[in-house]
Amino acid sequence: MTHSSSRHISPDARLLFVVEFLTSCSTNFLQVGIFFYTQQRFGWTLRSNFLLAAAQGATYVCGAMSAGRISARWPARTALARLYVAMCLVGCLGAAFPRSWVLATLLPLYAGLGAMTWPMLESLLSTGLESHALGRRIAVYNLVWSGSGAMVLALNGTIIEHFPRGVFAIPAILHASCITMLLLASRRAIPPQPDPVESTHPVTPPHAEPELLRLRTSALWLSRVALPATYVLIYSLMALMPSLPVFHSLDAAHQTLAGSTWMAARLVAFLILGLTTWWHTRPRILVLAAAVMLLSFLGVVVRPSDLLGPTAQSADLLSMILWQIPLGLSLGMIYAASLYFGMVLSEGSTEHGGYHEALIGLGSILGPGAGALAQIVRPGDVQFGIRAVGSVVAASVFAVAVTSLLFNRQSERRISPR
């Protein structure tokens, strides 16, 4: 993505990127960083956090699969504005009534509403662009939401300590801002515009590149298998983090700061992938990314002192932070591939965006669900919860490897003489 192309992003796209930024900030408060809030403010156990994450995943799947029907009923911007009204109301209720049972009801509802917004934003930003332009547009999209997520999680602990109601009040304000921006844009009636620089690339007819189409299809299915595994890991890890022994000596501000390293690394991955195209024709890189993801997860949750005997607390903390770097890089690779190849092959449809988000929700059910079940069997046993989540991630990585092997054999049969 060149500097000149960023200057020529259309006004309509710029507005949508701002809306995306505000939406990502809000959802990271109430879907990713919320587990630090529930543990700090209400003393929720690991089982409670796992159950919350699984409930969020279930409503997220339902919301994502409903996005296509909603966007078919109303214009996308109208549908988005109405969803933001509901999400703003959830934030206001959470700030006004910060009770444990209230949050247990509101947070899954919020996750379902949020799942409807992302496919619409993805479609609005992707429709009408050919593959080269779409690659750059998605690169900016990924940088916006991942950058805001890293920022929010790093600051979340400070807000929890000094302004706990802000965890809900700030998202309410941000959603109100999104509503205002969408309404003003609709009054100006800004038509969707392709970016001038992006539209200069000729569209290559699909029949002229069958090998590229085959590679993209292979990468799409690999990423679809790998994508749920990333959110098995993400939501399980975020539910786990407040309970990890390495965090016990840290206050909330330092917990969320140390726990946001993987988000910063994922942002770097999106930047590198956005500046390059080598991965567009190398689907098997996803198998390596999935393996690195599993290894890094184990590095984050298992302390050196667990393996080597007593070590300094600082060594355990440093190890946990450093392992988050390859974790974030691998997560970025898998997510970027899933979104890019899906949008290229579906021509930016809201329906595919719904499938993409539903896979995210599926991972959010499987990982935290396994963790919650482990906590029911052995209450308070963090290591047993880690093993349960790790088993689901390992099974997902194995499925990615099998999928890659099947595609390779299929390709060999096509090119081998009969």
Summarised one tens digit per residue, pLDDT across range 257-315 is 999 999 999 999 999 998 888 887 777 888 899 999 999 999 999 988 888 877 777 88
Residues in the chain: 418
Place of tokens 């949020």: 114
For residue 108, give the nearest of 52, 151, 64, 159 by alpha carbon.
52
CA angle, 242 as apex, 259 and 250 as ends, to 5°? 70
Per-residue confidence (pLDDT) for residue 378, from 0 to 100: 93
Model pLDDT for residues 99-148, shown as the tens digit of each residue? 999 999 999 999 999 999 998 898 888 777 776 777 788 889 999 999 99
How high is the pLDDT of residue 187?
60
Task: Give 179's pLDDT tier (boundaries 50, 70, 90).
Answer: very high
- As a whole number of angstroms, the distance between CA 191 and CA 131 comes to 21
Q: Which two tokens stand for residue 31?
A: 């879907």
**pLDDT, tens digit, for every residue of 34-52?**
999 999 999 999 999 999 9
Prediction pTM value: 0.84
125's tokens:
């930003």
For 10-191+207-415, CATH gives 1.20.1250.20
Map out the domains of the chain as residue ranges.
10-191+207-415
Tokens encoding 191: 């038509």
| DSSP annotation of 280 | G
Residue that the structure tokens 């205002």 belong to: 180
Q: Mean pLDDT in the chain? A: 85
Cα distance between residue 142 and residue 145, in whole Å: 6
Of the candidates 44, 11, 75, the residue with the CA atom closest to the CA atom of residue 372 = 44
- Dist CA 371 CA 390 (whole Å): 9
Residue 51's identity, in one-letter code, is L
What is d(CA 264, CA 245) in angstroms, rounded to the nearest whole number?
Answer: 23
Closest of 123, 147, 148, 150 to residue 137, by C-alpha:
123
